[in-house]
């Protein structure tokens, strides 16, 4: 019985840790051109956008593309982090 309780406690602790880590995920990525940086939260939703002050030679279409690409890259970073956390949690619950 002690072994069952200990295993359950270990799994609960792992679950709580994973939930804490998942809730705190953030990623900030800067476009290769340096013209924009985007920050996203644990869901990949944009929480911050920084645009360079030197936009005199940047076409609006290119700027939009840079924002979109950078936001997607930041969301990919968060997705990779989330996958790692969930994989480690899966290992704890797999017999």
Find out whether 26 and 39 touch, Cβ atoms under 8 Å.
Answer: yes
Position 83 pLDDT exceeds 80: yes
Instruction: Give the mean pLDDT of the chain.
Output: 92
**pTM of the entire predicted model:** 0.83
Q: What is the pLDDT of residues 14-32, one digit of tens each?
A: 999 999 999 999 999 999 9
What six digits make up the tokens of 3? 């072994």
Question: 54: closest CA among 33, 40, 70?
Answer: 33
Find out whether 64 and 80 touch, Cβ atoms under 8 Å.
Answer: no
Q: What is the pLDDT of residues 38-47, one digit of tens each?
A: 999 999 999 9
Note the pLDDT of residue 54: 82
The CATH topology of domain 2-93 is Ybab; Chain: A; (3.30.1310)
């Amino acid at each position: 019985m002690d072994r069952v309780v200990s295993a359950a406690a270990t799994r609960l602790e792992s679950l709580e840790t994973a939930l804490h880590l998942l809730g705190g995920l953030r990623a900030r990525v800067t476009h290769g051109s340096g013209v924009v940086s985007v920050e996203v939260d644990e869901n990949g939703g944009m929480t911050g956008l920084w645009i360079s002050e030197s936009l005199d030679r940047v076409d609006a279409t290119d700027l939009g593309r840079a924002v979109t690409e950078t936001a997607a890259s930041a969301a990919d970073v968060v997705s990779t982090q989330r996958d790692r956390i969930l994989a480690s949690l899966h290992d704890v619950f797999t017999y």
